[in-house]
Amino acid sequence: MKRLPGIIISAIVLLLGSLFQLLMAVLMGLGGILEQRQIQFGGHLSGVTAAPTPAWLPIFTYVLSALFVSLAAWGILTAVGLFRVRRWARYSVLIIGGCLALIGLPSMVMMLVLTAIPLPVPASVDVTHVHTAQTITRIVLGTGAAFYGFVCAVGISWLVYFNLKKVRGLFADAAGLPAHGRRPFLISTIAVLSLIGALTCILVAILPVPGGFFGWILQGWAKVAVLLAWAALLAASGVGLWRLDEWGRRLTLAVQALGLAQYVVFLVRPSLMTRYSEEVGRSMNLAHAQQLPPQFQAIVYNASFGLGMLVLLAIVAILHHYRTAFRRHIEPSQNEPAAIA
């Protein structure tokens, strides 16, 4: 079967990105080993005195390394499926593209916002070098914005290309026609993100750092209970969306409403976020680290909350737009007479 050039290029890009993730996983694993050795030597490694390393940090690093390995494996399998023109690979690359777009766009906008506001300079920097330090910082942020812009562009290009009629037809001819009522790829993307969010909540629940919920700073078992409950909600909504169950759509809408309400609380009372950041810093032995100017912190927090609210509103709009897909899933009505063979 003849493969389209766009499919081959997409598979190569996905394969290269997966190999990069594997490299990052290896580097994180090595970092976890160094952190563990630093804990064993009481912060003295190679004759250099360092700040105390939290005992949980190596475990957290190993978990992140395993996550990168899992994502790399997903990408490699999808790339192989694209080379072999498997129908499931098209849906997989659509989900990956949606995730890249949702991650890349807010990150790019955030870095562009940071380049446009006055940047604080550490007190240790000489006064004559302030302008140079700010310029270098803006260059770094601009490079990061360009990187995330590329990530977002790749994601959007896959969403567009793999929904073209000729591409859909190629994958359909290779593995049969798709079933009626097929799950929209944006719904699949939200479902996968919900499941990833559930795993993230479980990971944060076992870490000895405080949690935040509607302005309350949670510690110990209270934090664990809230995060596990939130993980259960995210997992249930992800499963419900994947199965195209109406209750899953409504539960996801409720989760987005809670998220929006929490953002509003922090926007109205920005001091709550500052206090939470200080508690996190103390738990990570960063209590004496240099604090950013309050005005700069406020700009960063407000920009983050604004982008977060836009993402949640976009999810709500998607769930409303595809509401008929959930209605079709629960049809036909129970009142219809059974077919007689």
Which pLDDT does position 28 carry in this prediction? 83
Q: How far is Cα 192 from Cα 105, in angstroms, rounded to an integer?
A: 18
Which pLDDT does position 255 carry in this prediction? 92
Q: Where are the beta strands (DSSP E) in the chain?
A: 44-45, 48-49, 211-213, 216-218
Which pLDDT does position 86 carry in this prediction? 86
| β pairing state of 211-213 and 216-218 | antiparallel
Which pLDDT does position 207 carry in this prediction? 75
Which pLDDT does position 122 carry in this prediction? 59
Instruction: Provide the H-helix boundaries in the chain.
Output: 5-40, 57-83, 87-115, 130-161, 165-175, 185-205, 220-242, 246-268, 270-283, 294-321, 323-329
For the entire predicted model, the pTM comes to 0.63
Which pLDDT does position 257 carry in this prediction? 93
What parts of the chain have a pLDDT lower than 70? 1-3, 39-56, 118-131, 133, 173-182, 280-300, 328-341
